[in-house]
């Protein structure tokens, strides 16, 4: 399990030029199709847990202990998000069940192919979209910049560092701060992610609930 430390930013006409100037190298361009799942009562997202299927694989993003405690530290860190990324299906299943408190013991028959666990836990797809992503790496070790264009018309950039379990999250925050500085990013407001914009447009009730619980 790793922790993804990330800062989103708004792209403009100069972003590509800036990336080139700071020596970023484009390492690929791809289409990403995501489906996000939750119960109709929003058991997962109200706990800031994001279950998705991407390229046929399941992923669960959960807040880190520090994020849950509400500790933000300095201003630059407050512009970043930190989420644990869980990709092991048995662990995802366990964590989701813990939250949904499903009493019925579902048999261990869950696999990438067998999706009956979704209906057993009353999980339904609430968001589905495709993103065109261009990825860049920087000399600063482990820093990746993604430029995302979602199919519903939202364009957002992300500076991200993946920290292995037990790794140095402060160092990751510092790398992100330095990269943001090099890119000339200003502003002290967190930039909205794709889901924020998607839910506001497509599921205003769900969005309002997450806003009122300070999840988004």
Q: Which of residues 37-96 bind ligand V4E (CB under 6 A)?
A: 50, 61, 81, 83
- DSSP string for 120-140: HTT-EEEEEEEEEEEEEE-SS
Q: Should residue 129 be labelled a site residue for ligand V4E when binding is judged by CB under 6 A?
A: no
CB atoms within 10 A of CB 14: 11
Q: Should residue 8 be labelled a site residue for ligand V4E when binding is judged by CB under 6 A?
A: yes
Q: How far is the CB of 97 from ligand V4E (least distance, A)?
A: 20
Q: How far is the CB of 151 from ligand V4E (least distance, A)?
A: 12
Q: Which CB sits closer to ligand V4E, 116 or 130?
A: 130
Q: How far is the CB of 20 from ligand V4E (least distance, A)?
A: 22
Q: Should residue 216 be labelled a site residue for ligand V4E when binding is judged by CB under 6 A?
A: yes
Backbone phi, psi, residue 15, to 5°: -55, -45
User: CB under 8 Å to 123, separation ≥6 — which residues?
Assistant: 37, 38, 39, 51, 96, 117
Residue among 199, 211, 1, 154 nearest 86 (CA): 1
Q: How far is the CB of 81 from ligand V4E (least distance, A)?
A: 5
By CB under 6 A, name the one of 177, 193, 206, 207 that touches ligand V4E.
193
Q: Are strands 155-164 and 143-150 parallel, antiparallel or unpaired?
A: antiparallel
By CB under 6 A, name the one of 158, 176, 206, 207 that touches ligand V4E.
158
Q: Which CB sits closer to ligand V4E, 109 or 153?
A: 153
Q: Which CB sits closer to ligand V4E, 120 or 132?
A: 132
Q: Which CB sits closer to ligand V4E, 140 or 193?
A: 193
Q: Which CB sits closer to ligand V4E, 110 or 154?
A: 154
Q: Which stretch binds ligand V4E (CB under 6 A): 21-29, 164-172, 177-185, 190-198?
A: 190-198
Say how far apart CA 5 and CA 46 lie, in whole Å.
21
Q: Summarize as ranges the residues that interact with ligand V4E (CB under 6 A).
A: 6, 8, 50, 61, 81, 83, 158, 190, 193-195, 216
């Amino acid at each position: 399990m790793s922790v993804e430390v990330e800062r989103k930013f708004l792209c403009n006409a100069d972003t590509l030029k800036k990336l080139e100037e700071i020596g970023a190298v484009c390492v690929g361009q791809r289409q990403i199709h995501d489906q996000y799942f939750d119960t109709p009562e929003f058991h997962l997202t109200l706990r800031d847990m994001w279950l998705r299927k991407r390229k046929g694989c399941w992923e669960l993003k959960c807040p880190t202990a520090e994020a849950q405690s509400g500790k933000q530290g300095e201003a630059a860190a407050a512009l970043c998000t930190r989420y644990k990324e869980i990709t092991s299906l048995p662990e995802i299943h366990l964590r989701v069940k813990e939250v949904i408190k499903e009493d019925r013991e579902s048999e261990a028959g869950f696999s990438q192919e067998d999706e009956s666990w979704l209906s057993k836990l009353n999980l339904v797809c609430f968001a589905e979209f495709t993103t065109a992503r261009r990825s860049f790496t920087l000399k600063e070790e482990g820093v990746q910049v993604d430029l995302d264009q979602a199919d519903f018309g939202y364009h957002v950039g992300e500076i991200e560092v993946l920290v292995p379990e037990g790794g140095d999250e402060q160092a990751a925050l510092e790398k992100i701060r330095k990269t943001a500085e090099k890119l000339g990013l200003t502003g002290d407001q967190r930039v909205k992610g794709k889901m924020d914009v998607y839910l506001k447009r497509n599921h205003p009730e769900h969005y309002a609930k997450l806003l009122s619980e300070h999840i988004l």
